[in-house]
Amino acid sequence: MATRSLKDQIASNEEAFKKTGALFGLETLKRKETDPGTYEAVWHILSNLCNAAWATGCKVSSSPIAAEGGDALWGLHTPTGEAICISRGISAHAGLLADMIKNFIDIGYEEYPGFKQGDIFENNDPHYGGIHSPDFDMCMPLFYEGELVAWASCVSHVADAGSVTPGSIGFINPDCYSDGLAISMERVGEGDRFYPWYELRIRSRTRTPDFVMGDARGRLAGCITLRERLFEVIEKYGLDLFKEASLEYVEDSRRYAVGRVKTQTVPGRIRKSQFKDLAMKGKRVLLAKQDVDCMFNLPMELTINADASVDLSLAGASGTVPFGENISPTALKSGLMMGYSHIIGFDMFNSGPISAWNIEMPPAGSWANPYPVDYQAASGVAWAPAVTWVSSLYEVFGRLFQTRGFIEEMAAGSGTIMTAEFSGINQTGMYLTGLTLEQASQGSPARGFADGENSAWCIYTPEADFGNAEISELYYPILFLGRNVAPDSGGYGRFRGGLGHTAVWMVYNTPGLEYQCGDAGMRSKIVGNHGMYGAYPAVPDRPGYGRDTNVKELIDAQKPLIHERGGPENPAVASAIEARDVQDNMIAPFVTPEPLQDYDIIVHPIAGAEAMGDPISRDPVTVVSDLNESWTSERVASDIHGVATTQSNGAYVVDEGKTARKREQIRKQRIARALPFKDWWEKEREKVQAQEGMDPAVIRMWASSMELSPKYAEELRRFWNLPEDFTFGS
Amino acid sequence: MAEFHKADIEKLIDGVLPWPATQDMLKSSKDEDRFDKYVEIMQERVEFQEPILLPLTPMLFIVAEDGKRVVKCSCGHGFGDYRVNWKLSSLIHVRDDEASMGEIYKGRELPDVAWIQLREYICPGCGSQLEVEAVPRGCPPDFEFLPDLDTFYREWLGRPLPDEVEYRDLTLDRIAEWTR
């Protein structure tokens, strides 16, 4: 009997899903029902194979990002590409890897150049589904006794992919041609070896080729580990079991996610507006078109249907930006799948849960679907708008869980991601560029029953780990002067967001070091739209630095140095040291105007996460506990939380009577100063029509949102009672 | 299927359930009667008698009142038909200048008011801050959740509500009334 092509198998799988509502047409899970013990055991074995690949690959890699931060992922897939299970690591990529394999099949590679054991395929090109050039996606077909039975996949984040500026967070890239070295759906090796010309290209076109090749060898080592171990499993349990169970795992996971939606949420329509700034006007940029401020509209509308399927729309998404912050719909879907895995489908994480989603194609020409209109759009750090948008998913499902009483599952929105990258000569005389891992440990979102955790969470990876300071100091010519929890950095609410931290670095032992304060999902001009249940959103990201400082003199005199970010009205970079150039309130992102020198100081804040609930309903005892930990200030305790305190034995204690009166007074003041909504609406609509007090970036955002999504535009006009032909910017 | 005591769910809501018990709730299969227990708890806590159909937020509830489905704050203040964004019936305080924004965010943490405004939605009855929005001027208020109540009760809970109503967003109809 002739073997059906993979392309035909994909088509028949889709047909079977349409017909039965079950992936692969699996209306019964035979293996699970007949032998649940083996079914579960093999699942855990396969998961651990992926983890073994991760452990092996990261160590082989040797780059600080993989070896220290574990910023990589390995996956095992069905022959048609669906992820069966994945390793620990950057789970954001599972969908990308699955879609990459499907894409190799879809464009006919099975016929030419063909698939065989030992082939190595890669892609990092956003035009073909990649996320951004530093994320090298790899897959290898796995043949057992001549039959393609699975794929092994991997992604690792390289330190530099040769984009126009050093590093891997290419927010400043003006177009796709500046995004760096492109591996465009290529076979890059055979017989478990890379082609020699693959390495030659990496050597001539990336700034840290030893690390980039180390990552490549790490990916390969992990995939080979996965293959060899998988064959041992097949030998032990039989090929039929593996083939059947691996499909069942995907369908099982779909059922689990659909079941959770049906038993833990409520059908209906959920809307969440979200925005993100990218203020670049007047900063160091590459092309004239980039001398502009941008605002993103990141809307999310979900409809949960009667059958517990989920429709998703991005109607209203604003247009592309002349920076590396546009994302392909394929990559965005992977980000969504990652967020969904944290919230719903985490029991058996694979391609199953997302298959119950109907994702409307984002507006053509928007940041979420750039190429139909702007084929040259850059994606140097396409995650930036995506993760900020996915943050809404946490709040949205948190709200849904609340309606059913599943308080323990609730979460508010996530922290933002502002990165630090360095480039220059380090203390050993070696040129280096790369990412520090600080941003991989933000505060976690407030929960329905407690505050978020401090410095313990990251939206793009369950491996929330900022790595050892000493390892960063080993690679980069910096010394940590501080790494500490930042007071009041989480949102204010009944349950506050987990707090972020501050890294304070002193540049040391270098002829010059560039500091790129990067945007991988930060907000600096604005705060997130995460005032869940009356909380206040977390503060914006505002880094600082000091050039030509007196720090050497302070060290020589053994005087106190700078160790933290300082209060919002007395930033430490301005008060703890002296410097010729003091920047204590920078609007991120940016690249320093000239290289930093020895003893220059960088104050790099990492965000706390979002809160939930009215701040004056916060337990006063918790507020006082934060005060005694120096995690909040007297002002926030008093003015935001309405808590009155006294001192006893050097510690704060609650003054219960005064607190009750203060909170009552706040309630009365709120009612007294607020307006009936209609009164405000009447005045506000005039300001909207006059476009009064609106930054040009905001006006441009609304203009593009309305142009790209006519229905969204119509609703906006009707809400503000604007003329039918009203457009912003006119 | 797990079952949890009502008293433990109350402690969870109040943020005082010990961590091991909370972990148990997180890790166990979910209890099928959670919704009913939750509604029962909240019904005992609110200051109104009308039956809760759905807790919309920890403070706002869709309730059955005189044959209609309306939103009420836990203090009993009514916000009208649940199909109209309740924010249209609330009080609002907007921070769109540096002085008012500066009461919340100081110095280095001050957002740019030409980019964003802070909208505080206040209950006229009790002064609770029900929601906060941080959005640029021009953004209609989020209608966070319009539940399909009849589908929920009929198809998911298997006990239809006595009086089915049309599932439709009526917010723009209310705006149209304001502009006549």
Kindly report, residue by residue over A536-577, the tens digit of the pLDDT: 999 999 999 999 999 999 999 999 999 999 999 999 999 999
* B40 and B64 assigned to the same domain: no
Q: Confirm or reject contact between B161 and chain A (CB < 8 A).
A: no
Q: Between A and B, how many CB-CB pairs are < 8 A?
A: 259
The overall average pLDDT reported for chain B is: 97
The mean pLDDT of A477-503, rounded to a whole number, is 97
Beta strands A501-507 and A579-583 are unpaired
> Which pLDDT tens digit goes with each residue over A656-703?
999 999 999 999 999 999 999 999 999 999 999 999 999 999 999 999
> Which of A71-80, A131-140, A342-351 has the weakest average pLDDT?
A342-351
Could you tell me the sign of the dihedral formed by the alpha carbons of B148, B154, B157, B159, in that order?
Answer: positive
E-only strand ranges, B32-175: 52-55, 60-65, 68-73, 78-81, 91-95, 117-122, 129-135, 145-147
- Whether the bond between A385 and the residue before it is cis, its omega within 30 degrees of 0, is no
pLDDT single digits (tens) A19-29 = 999 999 999 99
| Portion of chain A with pLDDT greater than 90, in percent | 91
The answer to whether the CB of A510 falls within 8 A of the CB of A427 is: yes
Give the gap in angstroms from C-alpha B67 to the nearest C-alpha of chain A: 21
**In this complex, do B128 and A269 lie within 8 Å of one another by their Cβ atoms?**
no
- CB-CB under 8 Å, A405 with B39: yes
In angstroms, the separation between the Cα of residue B151 and the nearest Cα of chain A is: 6
d(CA A382, CA A169): 9
Interchain proximity A675–B155, CB inside 8 Å? no
> In chain A, which residues have their Cβ closer than 8 Å to the Cβ of B135?
273, 275, 529
User: In chain B, which residue's Cα lies nearest the Cα of A633?
Assistant: B106
Nearest to A304 by CA among B86, B54, B151: B151
Task: Report the alpha-carbon distance of residue A49 to residue A722 in Å, rounded.
Answer: 59
The reply to whether residue B108 touches residue A584, judged by beta carbons under 8 angstroms, is yes
Q: Are residues B167 and B89 in the same domain?
A: yes
Sign of CA dihedral A587, A590, A594, A597: positive
Query: Cα–Cα distance between A661 and A364 in angstroms, integer?
Result: 55
In sequence order, the β-bridge partners of residue A296 are A276
Residue A527 main-chain phi, psi, to 5 deg: -110, 160
Side-chain-side CA neighbours of A523 within 13 Å: the count stands at: 37
Q: How confident is the model at residue A2 (pLDDT cuts 50, 70, 90)?
A: low
Q: What is the ipTM of this complex?
A: 0.98
| Dihedral sign, Cα of residue B13, residue B17, residue B22, residue B24 | negative
Angle, vertex CA A411, rays to CA A333 and CA A437, nearest 5? 65
Q: Are residues B86 and B158 in the same domain?
A: yes
Tokens of A63: 């780059």
What is the b/e burial string over A415-444, where b = at least 16 CB atoms within 10 angstroms of the residue's CB? bbbbbbbbbbbbeeeeebbbbbbbbbbbbb
| Subunit contact B138:A728, Cβ cutoff 8 A | yes
Domains held by chain B: number = 2
Can you spell out the DSSP letters for A574-621?
HHTS-EEEEESSPPSSEE-SS-B-TT-EEEEE------BS-GGGS-HH
Same domain, B28 and B80: no
Question: Cβ B144–A273 below 8 Å, yes or no?
Answer: no
Which of B87, B143, B151 has its CB closest to that of A306? B151
The verdict on B5 touching A (C-beta cutoff 8 Å) is no
pLDDT at A471 over 70: yes
What pLDDT is attached to residue A340? 83
Range of the domain at B9: 1-45
In the structure, how many helices (H) and strands (E) does chain B have? Answer: 6, 8
Between strands A310-313 and A357-359, the pairing is parallel
Written as one string, the DSSP assignment of A306-350 is TTS-EEEE-TT--B--SSS----HHHHHHHHHHHHHHHT--TT-S
Minimal-distance CA residue of chain A relative to B123: A671
The shortest C-alpha distance from A215 to chain B (Å) reads: 36
Q: Residues 6 or more apart from A409 whose CB is under 8 A from it?
A: A264, A343, A397, A398, A401, A448, B26
pLDDT (average), residues B106-133: 98
**Average pLDDT over all residues of chain A:** 95
Cβ(A335)–Cβ(A390) below 8 Å? yes
* Cα distance from N-terminal residue to C-terminal residue, chain B: 55
Residue type, A267: P
Q: Closest Cα partner for A248 from A47, A100, A27?
A: A27
Confidence of residue B37 (pLDDT cuts 50, 70, 90): very high
Contacts 24+ apart (CB under 8 A), B101-106: B103/A639, B104/A492, B104/A536, B104/A640, B105/A527, B105/A539, B105/A540, B105/A568, B106/A567, B106/A568, B106/A569, B106/A635
Q: Rounded CA gap, A496 and B142, in Å?
A: 22
Q: Does the CB of A227 have a partner CB in chain B at under 8 Å? A: no
Cβ of residue B165 closer than 8 Å to a chain A Cβ: no
Handedness of CA B151, B152, B155, B160 (dihedral sign): negative
Q: Give the span between the Cα atoms of A416 and A386, in whole angstroms.
A: 11
Question: Phi/psi at A283 (nearest 5 deg)?
Answer: -95, 175
- Report yes or no: A284 at the B interface, CB cutoff 8 Å: no
Q: Which residue has the tokens 């500091």?
A: A515
User: Cβ(B71)–Cβ(B99) under 8 Å?
Assistant: no
Q: Is A534 on the interface with B (CB under 8 A)?
A: yes
Q: How far is B66 from chain A (nearest CA, A)?
A: 23
Length of chain A equals 730
Report in angstroms the alpha-carbon separations of A611 from A395, A410, A414, A453, A529.
10, 11, 9, 11, 11
A569 Cβ under 8 Å from any chain B Cβ: yes
Closest CA to A603 of A489, A510, A521, A512: A489
Closest Cα in chain A, distance from residue B132 (Å):
4
CA contacts within 13 A on the Cβ side of A477:
26
Interface contact A619, partner B, CB < 8 A: yes
Could you give the CA distance from residue A201 to residue A211 in angstroms, rounded to a whole number?
A: 14
Q: Which residues of A touch B24 (CB under 8 A)?
A: none
Tell me the C-alpha distance between A76 and A153, whole Å.
6
Q: Which of B111, B144, B156 sits opposite A271 (nearest CB)?
A: B144
Closest residue in chain B to residue A302, using alpha carbons only = B145
Would you state the pLDDT for residue A465?
A: 84
- In sequence order, the 6+-apart residues with CB closer than 8 A to the CB of A182 are A124, A125, A133
B7 at interface of A, judged by CB pairs closer than 8 A: no
Residues 6+ apart with CB under 8 A from A356: A254, A257, A258, A261, A308, A309, A310
The verdict on whether omega for the bond into residue A589 sits within 30 degrees of 0, i.e. cis, is: yes
My answer on whether B72 and B33 are in the same domain is: no
Task: Decide if B164 touches A, using CB distance below 8 A.
Answer: no
Q: B136 vs A694: CB contact, 8 Å cut-off?
A: yes
Q: Do A619 and B15 count as a contact with CB atoms less than 8 A apart?
A: yes
Taking the C-alpha atoms of residue A36 and residue A257, their distance in angstroms, rounded to an integer, is 19
Instruction: Find out whether A418 and A501 touch, Cβ atoms under 8 Å.
Output: no
B77: nearest Cα among B47, B44, B39, B38: B47
Report how many helices (DSSP H) and strands (DSSP E) chain A contains, helices first.
18, 27
Measure the CA–CA gap between A520 and A483, rounded to whole angstroms. Answer: 21
**Chain-chain contact of A715 with B172 (C-beta, under 8 angstroms):** yes
Compute the distance between CA of residue A246 and CA of residue A287 in angstroms, rounded to an integer.
Answer: 50
Q: Is the pLDDT of residue A320 over 90?
A: yes
Same domain? For B36 and B123 the reply is no
The answer, for B24 touching chain A at a CB cutoff of 8 Å, is no
Interface contact B28, partner A, CB < 8 A: no
Grouping H, G, I as helix, E, B as strand and the rest as coil, residue A428 is: coil
CA distance A279 to A697: 8
What's the rounded Cα separation, in Å, for the pair A197 and A123? 16
Lowest average pLDDT, out of A28-32, A431-435, A676-680, B92-96, goes to A431-435
pLDDT confidence band for B42 (50 / 70 / 90): very high
End-to-end alpha-carbon separation of chain A, Å? 66
Arithmetic mean of pLDDT, A138-154: 98
Q: Verify that B40 and B58 share a domain, yes or no.
A: no
Q: Are residues B75 and B35 in the same domain?
A: no
Q: What is the mean pLDDT of residues B97-104?
A: 98
Residue of B nearest to A668 (CA): B127
Instruction: Give A-chain residues touching B17 at CB under 8 angstroms.
Output: 449
**Chain B 80-99, CB below 8 Å of chain A: which residues?**
87-94, 96
User: What CA–CA distance (Å, rounded) separates A470 from A474?
Assistant: 6
Residue with tokens 């405004």: B117
**CB within 8 Å: B172 and A450:** no
CB burial of residue B56 (10 Å; 0-12, 13-18, 19+): buried
Q: What CA–CA distance (Å, rounded) separates A521 from A414?
A: 11
* Assigned token pair, B43: 């019904």
Q: Which pLDDT does position B2 carry in this prediction? A: 82
Residue located via tokens 């009483």: A405
Question: Which residues of chain B from 64 to 83 reach within 8 Å of chain A, CB to CB?
Answer: none
The confidence band for A1, taking pLDDT boundaries of 50, 70 and 90, is: very low
Distance of CA A55 to the CA centre of its chain: 22
